[in-house]
Amino acid sequence: MKVAAFSIKQFEKELLDTMNTNRHSITYFPFPLSPGTAEQAAGCEAVLVFTNDDVSAPVIALLADLGIKYIATRSVGTDHIDKEEASKRGIRIANVPAYSPEAIAEHAVMLALALARKLIPTVDQSRRYDFTIENHMGFNLHKKTVGIVGLGHIGKATARIFKGFGCRVIGFDVCFPEDALGVEEKNFDQLLEESDIISLHVPLTPESRHMINEPCITKMKAGVMIINTARGALVDTEAAIPALENKKIGAFGLDVYEYEKGLFFADHQSDVNKDPLLAKLLDFENVIVTPHQAFLTKEAVTEIAASTLSNLNKWKAEGDDE
Ligand code: NAD
């Protein structure tokens, strides 16, 4: 099958090439899929995309006109794809349903630990040979209440790690799983009211967009820590800024940002006009931003490449049978 792969990093190209063993002819593009780059897929049957590619209705229409039959995203989330338009144009979609959930869970817990122990300002200070400790008082995770929102693959893996720290783990899910061992089931309001740390692990849907908004923040404990490794728009970022200023939110760890598309995965150091909302977030000492890299472990990217090729193999086999 002829395939156009967008937003490809060198490490992905190497993995896909090694595992592909020439079954598919894959052309790699480092730039994202967009209205301006879609035509690069001419002559292909499938495109490979990632979370910040533009897979909106107009781009899908362009792809359909080029004869694209399949879109495989190298991610769990499919919120960036207009699935209705794809179905209308007869284009099939596949994702990577689950890969190393521990990669994302460990990143979420790392953000929580780093914030609880003021790691980033401490290390910055050490680099300046300032070894005073007066401003570095942290807190134990032990015995804190951690609220996990979304108990799917990643939420459950995160819960297991926090349990290991001796935390009380509570959880909310629209479909609470039977195998979330040791996680106390709560409704959303109870979780907001009781948690010292809230970690988000739900997909972005119309229902979950801005699920952390101003009224929700009001219900939270003073000084709550929020960790978001799921999707940026789960949090109303505009509402988080004043809550950080008045210390209602005590710490905020984000691997995903509401307006990350076109920003994350590229070097923007020399941009004259920086994203003002992100600039505000980055100014807080008690905020850590990582650029959507919770998935970035050798184990996870290997599984993503294998699963992506398995999607292509399945479509090729179905095509060969027709
Ligand atoms: P999953 O499908 O296994 O679990 C999601 C859970 O959320 C399910 O149990 C579902 O019932 C629940 N849910 C859905 N909507 C909800 C709502 N409105 N309120 C409460 N619960 C709800 O998914 P997963 O593999 O655990 O991944 C979760 C999310 O993490 C993905 O959708 C993706 O957006 C994000 N993710 C981020 C990265 C990263 O690198 N930062 C990597 C992988 C996944």
**pLDDT (tens digit per residue) in 145-159:** 999 999 999 999 999
Residues with a catalytic annotation lie at 231, 260, 292
Residue 130, pLDDT score: 98
CA 115 to chain centre: 19
- Give the confidence band of 266 by pLDDT, cuts at 50, 70, 90: very high
39 alpha carbon – ligand 1 mean position (Å): 32
- CA gap 178, 4 in Å, rounded: 40
Ligand 1 residue neighbourhood (C-beta within 6 Å) = 76-77, 98, 101, 104, 149-155, 172-175, 201-205, 207-208, 229-231, 255-256, 292, 294-295
Q: Indicate the helix (H) or strand (E) that contains 306.
A: helix 298-321
- CA gap 79, 205 in Å, rounded: 7
CA-closest residue to ligand 1 atom 35: 230
Render 36-83 in DSSP notation, one character per residue: TTGGGGTT-SEEEE-TTS-B-HHHHHHHHHTT--EEEESSS--TTB-H
Question: How many Cβ atoms are within 10 Å of 300's Cβ, its own excluded?
Answer: 19
**Assigned token pair, 268:** 């923007």
Q: Tens of pLDDT along 118-135?
A: 999 999 999 999 999 999
Q: Tens of pLDDT along 275-289?
A: 999 999 999 999 999
Please give the mean pLDDT across all residues of the chain: 97
Q: Which of 52, 73, 76, 255 to mutate to test the pocket of ligand 1 (most atoms within 8 A of CB)?
A: 76
pLDDT at 322 over 80: no
Asked whether 239 and 217 are in contact (CB, 8 A), the reply is: yes
- Quote the percentage of the chain above a pLDDT of 70: 99
Residue 320, pLDDT score: 72
Residue 233, pLDDT score: 98
**Assigned token pair, 318:** 């179905």
Q: Tens of pLDDT along 227-250?
A: 999 999 999 999 999 999 999 999
**Assigned token pair, 314:** 């399945």
pLDDT at 258 over 90: yes
pLDDT at 304 over 80: yes
- CA gap 235, 212 in Å, rounded: 5
Q: What is the pTM of this model?
A: 0.95
Q: Tens of pLDDT along 185-214?
A: 999 999 999 999 999 999 999 999 999 999
> 90 exposed, middle or buried (CB, 10 Å; 0-12, 13-18, 19+)?
exposed
**Mean pLDDT across the stretch 215-225?**
98
Phi-psi category of 196—alpha, beta or left, where left has phi over 0 and alpha has psi -120 to 50? alpha
HSE value, Cβ hemisphere, 13 Å, CA-based, for 36: 2
